[in-house]
Amino acid sequence: MIRTPLRPLAQILHARAHGENPDSIQRENARLRNEAARDRARSRAEFRLLLLGVCFAMAFATIGARMGMLSSSVPAEPQSAASGAEVVAGRAEIVDRNGRLLATNMTTNALYAHPKIMVDPGRVASELAKIFPELDAADLARRFTDGRSFVWIRRVLSPEQLQQVHDIGDPGLLFGPREMRLYPNGRLAAHVLGGSGFGAEGVASAELIGTAGVEKALNARLSDPAQASTPLTLSLDLTIQATMAEVLGAGMAMMNAKGAAGIVMDVDTGEVLAMVSLPDFDPNDRPNPLVKGDAADSPLFNRSVQGVYELGSTFKIFATAQAMELGLVNADTLVDANAPMRWGKHLIKEFKDKNYGPLLSVRDVIVKSSNVGTAHIALMIGPERQKAFLKSLGFFEPTKVELVEAPGARPLIPPKWPEIVTITTSYGHGMSASLLHLAAAYGAIANGGVMLTPTLLKHDGPVTGTRVMRQEVAAASLSMLRGVVTEGTASLGDVPGYEVAGKTGTADKPKRTGGYYNDKVINTFASVFPASDPKYVVMVMLDEPVETSGSEPRRTAGWTSVPVAAEVIRRIAPILGLRPTVEPIPLDGLTAVSN
Amino acid sequence: MMRPAFAILAFLAVIATGFWAYRENYQTQDALRDLRDLQSEIAALRESLSVQRAEWAYLNRPDRLRELADLNFDRLGLMPMDSSQFGHIADVSYPALAPLTPNLTDAVSVSGTEEGGDL
């Protein structure tokens, strides 16, 4: 570009020739130049503003168009996405330790009606009453015709019933899909599983919630959608559970008992392999709780966890174990066992007013089940230490097992602890605990002195517990328990090859009005096997049993619970894969023959 | 000279790509329809699988198996497991070993005349 000079020589000369001021030419030219520059700058700024405006307009138009498309389009699942392992079931299944199904879900239908679009309400009502006997035709007809527009008829339908309702063919009858909880094993493990029902209900779906047992205690885990595809694995073994239930049922009938309970627990992990309470119920059709009377008479009552009973002589081993732990006695120490023993206004007697005294070794106190001997040992220990030891064995707290009923089953502890309570507690009277408490405490003796928390969930790997007694004390206690079976009150409990060790307990049932019944007892047999290397504890309890094969009725645990427990062990030990051991011949075999 | 040829080629290319796009579109829709069918089939199969699992558990419940074992006792002879059923590996009687007599059926004939003459 040729730059126009501010003072063009031709014009200057011309101006000078005419006597004009040449500076005005320069100013004029400078003004023109400035104006041109200003015009250029303005047009550039205008262009930039326009560009920016267009950009903004495009951005807003894009966002606006996208929002409009999103709001006007129909929501659809991404069609081409690969289907993962999404869950059909809304609630996790429950399986036993070997993966056998205990609880699962089934899809079924609920039946409801829209009476406003019903063609012939009267006929529908009578047809429905034919299909479902529990429905009343007149009542249904009234509900169909009183002007309401929605009626629930049934919560679940079987496929056959569904077809029958279809065959009625009325447009006012409608079906809503439902998930139903199914317990394929029926009554087996009913008390552990509990049961389930519907929570919030709608036409399209209903929420399944647990109503008792594991189903309720672990409801949050079972209904968690993130874990719905992983089944909940219980520690129960279905085969052991079935065997226990069968033997216990037969034993209950044979011993004329009102109820029975049994527990099998692994002593090294605290896992409960079987937990039976009889009479039982079908969790698929859970009965209603009793509205009056004793809750313990309902089949819903779990005798092994909810029932707290005075557990009788099974407690004696805790007194002797503690005395040995404290170094007060050893297995051969002689203690005073001269019966009857007078303590204040109380008289402590032996079974059938026998006298095992005047002196008895600690081992024989257990083997012969001497109340007086145990009382003297307990007095050596004293109330405070006895309380502390029983507390460490878990007898002062409800069990922590994964059942919704467990926290409610609080052991009954005497409010004060004078010496007479020390004496009665030492042989299992005056304080009440559940069978599961006893199983856990015997587990501690069996596994070498470590108290474990009983659990219904399978767990892998080692578990930790708190040590409550020395290993030697546990071993000495175990050998005393073995003595109870080989030469003491539980002689019917011997199972060849499986070295059963255990302790019987016979406790009179307390009356509601105070005092004790003469002819109603709770018989317990707390056993451990095999004694040389304990693996399992087996608890058997019979409620009000009486054995009538002899000339007079017998109500001691040695005649009722012990044979039942022996049969349980005989049956389950091979299933648990325990090889029978050849026991050493006792050293005093010769003298026994010579007698 | 070049111009009409180029126009014809471009026209053909438009036709070809249009045809290709049309086919792709319909194939995609077919594939999506297949996928939908398969997914609903999978869901139905999953559901029937869970029903069959429940039925399997129901048919295998211990009470029923025990009853069946009792009913068919004369054929099956099943008894509850017992400790006497444990044995040692040494107690297993193995089938007797085959006698060590040589197998003569495939014997090669080596007989000949005493003189060793022609066979």
- pLDDT recorded at residue A46: 96
Residues of chain A contacting B50 with CB distance shorter than 8 Å: 88-89, 104-106
Considering only residues A196 and A595, tell me which one the structure prediction assigns the higher pLDDT: A196
* Separation CA A99–CA A245 (nearest Å): 20
**What is the token pair recorded at A123?**
């006929």
Highest mean pLDDT among A14-23, A246-255, B108-117: A246-255
Residue A456 and residue A234 in contact, taking contact as beta carbons nearer than 8 Å: yes
**Chain A interface with B: residues with Cβ < 8 Å:** 79-80, 83, 88-89, 100-101, 104-107, 182, 184-188, 238-239, 242-243, 246, 495-498, 570-571, 573-575, 579-580
Question: Could you read off the pLDDT of B29-72 as tens digits, one per residue?
Answer: 999 899 889 988 988 898 888 889 888 999 999 989 999 999 99
Which of A317, A319, A302 has the alpha carbon at shortest distance from A481? A317
Residues of chain B contacting A580 with CB distance shorter than 8 Å: 83-84, 86
- pLDDT recorded at residue A468: 92
CB contact under 8 A, B62 and A88: no
Residue A450 and residue A467 in contact, taking contact as beta carbons nearer than 8 Å: yes
Is residue B50 less than 8 Å (CB to CB) from chain A?
yes
Best mutation target among A80, A87, A88, A581 (most B Cβ atoms within 10 Å) is: A88
DSSP run (H or E) holding B13: helix B2-59
CA distance B46 to chain A (A): 7
- pLDDT recorded at residue B112: 57
Chain B residue with minimal CA distance to A187? B63
- pLDDT recorded at residue A584: 56
CB contact under 8 A, B66 and A188: no
* pLDDT over 70 at B11, yes or no: yes
Q: What does the H/E/C string look like for A321-359? A: HHHHHCCCCCCCCEEECCCCEEECCEEECCHHHCCCCCE
CB contact under 8 A, B66 and A242: yes
Residues of chain B contacting A80 with CB distance shorter than 8 Å: 32, 35
Vertex A52: Cα angle to A48 and A54 (nearest 5): 115
Using CB atoms, pick whichever of A104, A187, A496 lies closest to residue B54. Answer: A104
- pLDDT recorded at residue A562: 92
Chain B residue with minimal CA distance to A106? B51
Q: What does the H/E/C string look like for A138-198? A: HHHHHHHHCCCCCEEEEEEECHHHHHHHHHHCCCCEEEEEEEEEECCCCCCCHHHHCEEEE
Confidence of residue A592 (pLDDT cuts 50, 70, 90): very low
Mean pLDDT for A223-250 is 90
DSSP run (H or E) holding A517: strand A516-529
Highest mean pLDDT among A154-163, A329-338, A403-412, A442-451: A442-451
Question: Could you read off the pLDDT of A432-441 as tens digits, one per residue?
Answer: 899 999 999 9
- Residue B11 amino acid letter: F
CB contact under 8 A, B51 and A80: no
**What is the token pair recorded at B116?**
């060793």
Residue A414 and residue A290 in contact, taking contact as beta carbons nearer than 8 Å: no
- pLDDT recorded at residue A595: 42
Exposure of A178 in the CB half-sphere (CA atoms within 13 A): 27
* Separation CA A192–CA A190 (nearest Å): 5
Using CB atoms, pick whichever of B36, B57, B83 lies closest to residue A100. Answer: B57
- The number of residues in chain B equals 119
Best mutation target among A77, A87, A104 (most B Cβ atoms within 10 Å) is: A104
Exposure of A97 in the CB half-sphere (CA atoms within 13 A): 19
Q: What is the mean pLDDT of chain A?
A: 87
- pLDDT recorded at residue A587: 54
* pLDDT over 60 at B113, yes or no: no
- Residue A108 amino acid letter: T
Which of A185, A218, A209, A219 has the alpha carbon at shortest distance from A100? A185
- pLDDT recorded at residue B119: 46
Based on the number of CB atoms within 10 Å of its own CB, is A243 exposed (0-12), middle (13-18) or buried (19 or more)? buried
CB contact under 8 A, A184 and B35: no
- The number of residues in chain A equals 595
Does the global pTM surpass 0.90? no
- Residue A587 amino acid letter: L
Chain A residue with minimal CA distance to B87? A579
* Separation CA A48–CA A233 (nearest Å): 71
Active site residues of A: 313
**What is the token pair recorded at B14?**
């438009």
CB contact under 8 A, A79 and B32: yes
Instruction: Say which residue the tokens 């139905």 belong to.
Output: B44
Based on the number of CB atoms within 10 Å of its own CB, is B63 exposed (0-12), middle (13-18) or buried (19 or more)? middle
Question: Could you read off the pLDDT of A129-154 as tens digits, one per residue?
Answer: 888 888 888 888 888 888 888 888 88
Using CB atoms, pick whichever of A79, A186, A498 lies closest to residue B63. Answer: A186
Residue A506 and residue A313 in contact, taking contact as beta carbons nearer than 8 Å: yes
Highest mean pLDDT among A111-120, A365-374, A434-443: A434-443
Confidence of residue A564 (pLDDT cuts 50, 70, 90): very high
- pLDDT recorded at residue A581: 81
User: Predicted ipTM?
Assistant: 0.71
* pLDDT over 90 at A353, yes or no: no
- pLDDT recorded at residue B82: 82
Question: Could you read off the pLDDT of A459-513 as tens digits, one per residue?
Answer: 887 888 899 999 999 999 999 999 999 988 888 888 888 889 999 988 888 887 7
Question: Could you read off the pLDDT of B78-108 as tens digits, one per residue?
Answer: 888 888 788 777 777 887 777 766 666 666 6
Mean pLDDT for A425-448 is 91
* Separation CA A539–CA A244 (nearest Å): 10
Q: Write out residues 55-74 of B within 8 Å (CB-CB) of A.
A: 55-58, 60-63, 66
Based on the number of CB atoms within 10 Å of its own CB, is B100 exposed (0-12), middle (13-18) or buried (19 or more)? exposed
Residues of chain B contacting A100 with CB distance shorter than 8 Å: 57, 60
Percent of chain A with pLDDT over 70: 95
CA distances from residue A407 to A208, A214, A403, A583, B41 in whole angstroms, order as listed = 23, 13, 8, 42, 46
Mean pLDDT for A76-93 is 63
Based on the number of CB atoms within 10 Å of its own CB, is A53 exposed (0-12), middle (13-18) or buried (19 or more)? exposed
Partner residues linked to A542 by β-bridges: A260, A523
- pLDDT recorded at residue A535: 92
Question: Could you read off the pLDDT of A9-46 as tens digits, one per residue?
Answer: 888 888 888 888 888 888 988 999 999 999 999 999 99
* pLDDT over 60 at A193, yes or no: yes
Mean pLDDT for A312-319 is 90
